[in-house]
Amino acid sequence: MLRVVSNSFAPDCEGMRRREFLRVGALGLGGLNLSQLLAGRALAGTGSGVFTGKSVVMLNLQGGPTQVETFDPKMTAPSEYRAMFGEVKTSLPGVTFGSQFPRLARLAHRMAIIRSYAHGIGSHGPAALHVAAGGNSTGACMGSLFACAAGTTNARTGLPNNTIIIPAAVGSDYKDLSAVPQRVTETGSLPPAYKAFDPGNGGTLLEDMKLNVSADRFDDRKTLLGELDKLRRRADGKIESSSTFEQQALDIVLRGAGAAFDLTKESPRTIARYDTGHIKPGAGAQSRNSYAKMFSPVALGKQMLMARRLVEAGCGFVTVTCTGWDMHGGGKEYTVSDGMPVLAPAVDKAASAFIEDIIDRGLYDQVLLVVTGEFGRTPKINTKGGRDHWGNLCTLAFAGGGLNMGQVVGRSDRTASAPADNPVTSNMLLGTVMHTLLNVPNLRLRADLPNDVQRAIVNSRPIPQLV
């Protein structure tokens, strides 16, 4: 939010002294011309009849979540294969989750669990990009593909249509927590303009958005507009020599959309509903694993709350990252017994709060939550108490979006090693997301869309059981 600050001070109701300021969201900008700020926008536009008005939030469990300890506990398998912490009954008859997901288990009738998703890639970077892109031929992540079709920015609100929320995005207290945004924000063959906007990117941009105006000229409209024009021109210069990050941030600030990123607008009750600040690695895990502290999920609840605020305000695609799921065991890595008691309860609380919140706010059919990671883990627990990389069966779950929920799609084999029936591919993941966000038949009529983008979206096929 742009703050126009005077250099005088005024007492507040508690006797404290604070700077007087106006927010651009409530400021009459009159003749201030923003056209130059928008000049670098991609030409895709919103396309009449193409954008459905729905949004997608992808909760990306970075490192590769174990399919066994999450949504396919396999308690009938030999002990070295089954979920280490057992299972919990869900609201779907005969369906169980890993025991550390009791809240999501109660919401299983509002979810669709995929137990037959596989892509066969076992290396972090390539697998992460493959899943985030839904395997599409452009190599662009799904958020970027969507932004190319729907426009980089919501024309009504000024919010970017493709945003990533890493821990640092929700507060400076979380700047040292792990995040690997580059793995899930690549634009492939598309221009960099379609890269996800990252409010946790750092730098001094938002601080630069403050205008200092002397007290005796604070009410001088001409001076105020002049200062705003200087700000615009200064930012224009940065945009021309830098990237679209500054351009998008400036749009957010000048168009009053910054409030969507402000969690203080939420009630204490809602913040508490999401809060994962108390869920931290234990002393034992920290002493055994040097990475444990930076994998702490203390920010995850706030990340998911910000995601809800953004989609409610018009952002089309939001990626939320949660790291630490690379549970090999030994050395610096988490074991399953170290990592799951920390990360699973955080995901359980934050994701269930998100689902309940969008239900309460009437957004359940308008927002699709996708929970996944780059790959699964080896079915058999290794000698170090961990599970290794495994691309032959992966965690995947959905909630909302107006799709057919309350079901399990596909089945894994007896050791949760591979799909046993109804295999789900990455193209189906892409198709499910794109058909939620876009009216794909109408997309075929778009003459302004690059051929490779149009082919990637039109040739995707949603998971048939969900549509």
What is the SS3 assignment for 180? Answer: coil
Quick check: is 27 in a domain? no
- State yes or no: pLDDT of 100 exceeds 70: yes
Whole-angstrom distance, CA of residue 270 vs CA of residue 321: 21
Supply angle C-alpha 58, 361, 402, rounded to 5: 55
Structural domain tally of the chain? 1
The reply to whether 222 falls in a domain is no
Contact, 151 vs 44, CB < 8 A? yes
Percent of the chain exceeding pLDDT 90 equals 67
340-386 pLDDT, tens digit per residue, is 999 999 999 999 999 999 999 999 999 999 999 999 999 999 999 99
Please indicate whether residue 211 or residue 155 has the higher confidence score (pLDDT). Answer: 155
Cβ-count burial of 26 within 10 angstroms (0-12 exposed, 13-18 middle, 19+ buried)? exposed
231 within a domain of the structure (yes/no): no
Mean pLDDT across the chain: 84
Residues 6+ apart with CB under 8 A from 377: 64, 65, 66, 67, 68, 327, 386, 387, 388, 389, 390
- Please indicate, yes or no, if residue 200 is contained in any of the structural domains: yes
pLDDT of residue 380: 96
Residue 225 lies in a domain: no
Residue 76 lies in a domain: yes
Would you say residue 234 lies in a domain? no
Q: Are 121 and 375 in contact (CB under 8 A)?
A: yes
- Per cent of the chain over pLDDT 70 is 78
User: Six-digit token pair at 298?
Assistant: 């203390």
Q: Which residue has the higher pLDDT, 278 or 154?
A: 278
Work out whether strand 394-400 and strand 367-372 pair parallel, antiparallel, or are unpaired.
antiparallel
pLDDT at res. 181: 94
186/132 Cα distance (integer angstroms)? 9
Whole-angstrom distance, CA of residue 424 vs CA of residue 116:
6
- Whole-angstrom distance, CA of residue 7 vs CA of residue 2: 16
In a domain, 411, yes or no: yes
Residue 216: Cβ-neighbour burial (10 angstroms; 0-12, 13-18, 19+): exposed
Number of Cβ atoms within 10 Å of the Cβ of 28 = 9
Q: What is the mean pLDDT of residues 55-82?
A: 97
Q: Which residue's entry shows tokens 């499910």? A: 432
Half-sphere exposure of 57 (CA within 13 A, CB side): 28
**Residue 143 lies in domain:** 43-204+259-466
- For residue 410, what is the domain's CATH number? 3.40.720.10
